Amino acid sequence: MSADAWEAHCTNAPSKPPQNVLSPFRGETERGTIKKGGNMQQQHNRARSDELKARRRQLRQKQTKAEKVFWQEVRACRTGYHVRRQHNISAFIVDFYCHEVALIIELDGPIHRYTKDYDRWRQAKLESWGYYVIRYNNNEVLFDRERVLNEVLLFCEVLRISMAVASRTSPCPSPCPSLRSG
């Protein structure tokens, strides 16, 4: 995705859920706020946390082939970045997440043909909270894995450097050969 396309994508995202969208899938919901009230709030948070934990576990057990392939490539900091799978952010469960650079990696299977409006709304919500979201379809991961991994690593490097510049600290030397040589 070009820089201009990325910028347009980020600025044109809707700010509220679209009308007539299928209900959230993969166990994701967005609930209204509950008045803070001691035990009720704590019980709700604990129940919600347990529900999300169970859903994450279920999703990990039922990964698509593309998710399994991608996970084998990024697990155990093999890219130099710690990546989590089926990680929840608020009430959303994202496919993969790199906390160090606030990057969400979503792998879209056939179901996403029917959930585009919801996906767009969900992504806009996550981006409004300061996360960066990149998406690949399952076939890209299965048949062009090296390109996908290089792009993810490049995104991580660019985000790490931009965060370092924003915080006015000098970044560490880049471990990415493509960034060092260019």
Q: Which CATH number fits domain 3-17+65-181: 3.40.50.1000, 3.40.960.10, 3.20.20.140, 3.90.1150.10?
A: 3.40.960.10
Q: Domain coordinates of the chain in residue numbers?
A: 3-17+65-181
pLDDT digits (tens, 9 = 90+) for 13-60: 444 444 433 344 444 444 443 344 445 445 445 556 777 777 677 766
User: What is the predicted pLDDT for the residue at 121?
Assistant: 95
* Average pLDDT score over the chain: 75
pLDDT digits (tens, 9 = 90+) for 120-174: 999 999 999 999 999 999 999 999 999 999 999 999 999 999 998 888 655 555 5
Q: Which residue has the tokens 């809707």?
A: 14
* pLDDT surpasses 70 at 80: yes
